[in-house]
Structure 1
Amino acid sequence: MKKIFALLFILFSYSAAFGLSVHIVYPETCTSNYTIKAYGKVETNQNITINAPISGIINISSSFSSVKKGEPLAQIYPYNFSNKLQNAKNNIEAARKNLEDTIKLKEANIATSQELQKAKMLYYQAESNLENLRSILEQTKIYAPFSGSLQYLVASQSYVEKGQPIAILKGNGDLWIQAFVTPDDISKLKVGQIVYYYHSNLKQQGTIAQISPSTDSSGLMPVFVKFNNKDLIAGVWVKLDIPIAQKSCLCIPKQAIVSKGSKVYVYIVINGVACEREVGLINIAGNTAYIFGNIAKNEPIVVSGMQRLKNKTKVTIMK
């Protein structure tokens, strides 16, 4: 036991004299790609067959053969959907409470950065699950995508399968996707730019055909996307990813990143002392973090011993 205490005393004395041993890297200039995410609705003036976006019991809103654009046609009620939606809401509240508690524990140096990152991921997953269910809920409501002559192919209160034809609407025109993005994001877009959208869990490609210069009542700006997928129908909502190249950033190993609440930091070694510095995080891809901020390429950044570091900690750089 005396030997153990002696060894601990030696290690403590060494640490106090020479500082914690750490490894460092130097940031590199690189290009990071980030993605604008949006939801879009398929629009058309074409003769179309309206298919069931999901499986369930269909409730037809009216029997009129002539309909106007935006008029409700039907709603499909998926099996056990209300319970799934309520469970998702409960999960996101539990994940939010867990994240708030973990942030407090991290600030008190009780929870680790890994535990905080895990709490964040659980919250983001719960949030994404609820958003997906809300998207499905919106898809249960079927509206007339344009004015025209309507013929129903199924009876009200019957069970329909996803993709099953439920009505035919006659009109003219082509399909396109109308999506909405923020004014900050609209400045990054251009006509002809590639857009990816997701339909039936498949990634499809389209291009921006037009960008509106004005905002709608919600403050968002419409973007019109053309595509060649004939499986889409009017009124269907799709998720869109618009890849944007972000230049003039720095890349470092992701283990150099330290999260404290909503802020992100790295440790810069200055004259043998690890100094905490806040940075902006663009994204993390694989083992690389893409950052921006007041950091120079010749400044050494700590990549080991993060759990033991505090601001102004004396360190020794390992070779």
Structure 2
Amino acid sequence: MRRISIFIGLVVLLFHTSCESKKHETKDETKYLVSSPIRKDTSITKDYVCQIHSIRHIELRALEKGYLQHIYVDEGQFVKKGQPMFHIMPNVYEADLQKAKAEAEVAEIEYKNTQLLADGNVVSANELAMAKAEYDKAKAEVKLAETHLGFTDIRAPFDGIMDHLEAREGSLLDEGELLTTLSDNSKMWVYFNVPEAEYLDYITSANNGTKQQVELLMANNRKFDQVGVVETIEGEFNHETGNIAFRATFDNPKRILRHGETGSILMTVPLTNALLIPQKATFEVLDKKYVFVLDEKGTVQQREIHVGAELQHLFVVEKGLSENDKVLLEGIRMVKNGENIHFEYLKPEKMLSSLDLYAE
């Protein structure tokens, strides 16, 4: 009986040892995919927070004192150039015009009489000149009175969308008091700030003066249906932020965009001879990015890298790797720093195509 127990124990031990050996052998024979970084001309899309302005945005103010007699428009209404918007009670200004016209008629009569006397050498040439000056002054007063009267009728200076009404009918207005604002939304100016380094890249890579096309991502995270162009760059950098303002212009035929909106400008920036690696080959430790690099003996070494830009599935590496390095693509959580592994090398071109990324 004792011999049988010993025999069974030996069988169990041999079986267990065989299983452990097979497991160890299976682990040792695991092959990991590795590849090398690849250099390629590509492009990235950078986004910049932007402010959206109407191409023309003005304040409409009362140019004369008086009671606001009529409001012909409503808030948010689209108005046409020349369309009446506000009317200030004109009684005082009509009276001033009638008075100026009467004084001009008197001055005209005096001038004509003096002209007749001057022709008969009754009065001097100086008296005639004084009469002529008084007549010219009176005509100027008529023009001025007509202008003041015209200021009581406020019309749209251009096609646009009006904003909030700042006064109501019957209000007593002071000279210069704000009535509303008017925005020409046929085109929009979109302002965004670019860091100095990116500005220099933009300027040095400008293609024979061709205007850079950009897209607008609206606040609802949808792209605006028109493509804009960068038309101007401000003359000075902001010394506090190190940025400079760009201005892009967008057509706005459907009047979707309004003055004061925000969004993001999407600008495609070319990258020449960029060093690319898959994002899945990296891992983070304390906000720093690392990869596992293999030496000639297949030993895994952890190495820090500096990422310059992010693409779909890819990182652009600025520092830490070269084209000759072999980088672990899979099994990052299964290996340890300094461990020897079996690996299978995947050509960079094949690695890139497997990521389903079209880098041009």
For Structure 1 versus Structure 2, the TM-score category normalised by the shorter chain is 0.5 to 0.7
**1:43-96: CA deviation from partner (whole Å, max 9, x where unpaired):** 3462689xxxxxxxxxxxxxx9469xxxxxxxxxxxxxxxxxxxxxxxxxxxxx
**Aligned partner (choices 214, 237, 255) of residue 195 of structure 1:** 214
CA pair 213-313 structure 1, distance change in 2 beyond 3 A:
farther
Q: Secondary structure at the match of 1:313?
A: coil
The residue aligned with 2:290 is 265
- Write the distance in 2 (CA, Å) between the matches of 1:39 and 1:237: 7
Residue 305 (structure 1) aligned with residue 327 (structure 2): no
Match of 1:189, SS state, is helix
Q: Is the 8 A contact 1:195 1:206 kept in 2?
A: yes
Counterpart of 1:295 in 2: which secondary structure? coil
Aligned pair partner of 2:249 in 226, 231, 245: 226
CA distance change for structure 1 residues 8 and 304 in 2, over 3 Å: closer, same or farther? Answer: farther
1:40 maps to what in 2?
50
The alignment partner of 2:341 has SS state of: strand
The number of equivalent residue pairs is 213
- Residues 276 and 152 of structure 1: is their aligned pair in 2 closer, same or farther, counting only changes over 3 Å? closer
Aligned residue number for residue 279 of structure 1: 305
Partner of residue 210, structure 1: 232
Query: Aligned equivalents of 1:13 and 1:174: distance in 2?
Result: 70
Select the residue among 318, 327, 349 that pairs with 1:292.
Answer: 318
Contact 2:185 2:258 (C-alpha < 8 Å) held by counterparts: no
The secondary structure found in structure 1 opposite 2:302 is strand
Distance 1:11 1:181, change over 3 A: same
> 1:14/1:170 Cα in 2 relative to 1: closer, same or farther (>3 Å)?
closer
- 1:90-123, CA deviations, whole angstroms, 9 ceiling, x for partnerless residues? xxxxxxxxxxxxxxxxxxxxxxxxxxxxxxxxxx
In the TM superposition, what whole-angstrom CA distance separates every residue of 1:17-52 from its partner, at most 9, and x where no partner exists?
x68632211222123422332222233462689xxx
Query: Is residue 7 from structure 1 mapped to residue 19 from structure 2 by the alignment?
Result: yes
Query: What's the TM-score once normalised by structure 2's chain length?
Result: 0.49
- Contact kept, 8 Å, 1:34 with 1:282, in 2: the verdict is no
Which is higher, the Rg of structure 1 or of structure 2?
2
Q: How much has 1:7 moved relative to structure 2?
A: 2.5
Q: Tell me, yes or no, if structure 1 residue 252 matches structure 2 residue 262.
A: no
Structure 1 stretches lacking a partner, 5+ long: 50-63, 68-148, 157-166
Q: Distance in 2 between the 1:41 and 1:299 partners?
A: 44
Taking the aligned partners of 1:151 and 1:213, their CA distance within structure 2 comes to: 32
Shift of 1:283: 4.6
State how far apart, in whole Å, the 2-side matches of 1:299 and 1:313 are.
Answer: 17
Matched, 1:237 2:258: no
Q: Counterpart of 1:256 in structure 2: which amino acid?
A: A
Deviations 1:180-199 (A, max 9, x none): 22223222334721221124
Q: Report the residue type matching 1:8 in the other structure.
A: E
TM-score (norm 1): 0.54
Deviation at 1:13, TM superposition (A): 7.0
**Cα pair distance change 1:183/1:282, threshold 3 Å:** closer
Structure 2 SS opposite 1:185: helix
Tell me if structure 2 keeps the 8 A contact 1:274–1:314: yes
> Structure 1 residues 171, 289: CA separation in 2 closer, same or farther (over 3 Å shift)?
closer
Percent identity between matched residues is 15
Where does residue 114 of structure 2 map in the other structure? Answer: none
Name stretches of at least 5 consecutive residues in structure 2 with no aligned partner.
1-11, 64-160, 169-179, 204-208, 346-360
Structure 2 vs 1, CA of residues 8 and 248 (structure 1 numbering), >3 Å: closer, same or farther? Answer: farther
- What is the Cα deviation at residue 239 of structure 1? 1.6
Q: Paired residue for 2:38?
A: 28
Deviations, residues 218-270 of structure 1 (Å, cap 9, x unaligned): 42321111221242232222321122122232223333222223111122211
Counterpart-to-counterpart distance in 2, 1:302 and 1:257:
9
Counterpart Cα distance in 1 of 2:57 and 2:334:
66
Instruction: Report the equivalent of 1:101.
Output: none
Task: Tell me how far apart the structure 1 counterparts of residues 324 and 258 of structure 2 sit (CA, whole Å).
Answer: 54
Tell me how large the CA RMSD over aligned residues is: 3.9
Code of the residue aligned with 2:52 in structure 1: it is V
Task: Report how far residue 207 of structure 1 moved.
Answer: 1.1
Q: Which amino acid aligns with 2:333?
A: Q
CA contact (8 A) 1:19 1:314 kept: no
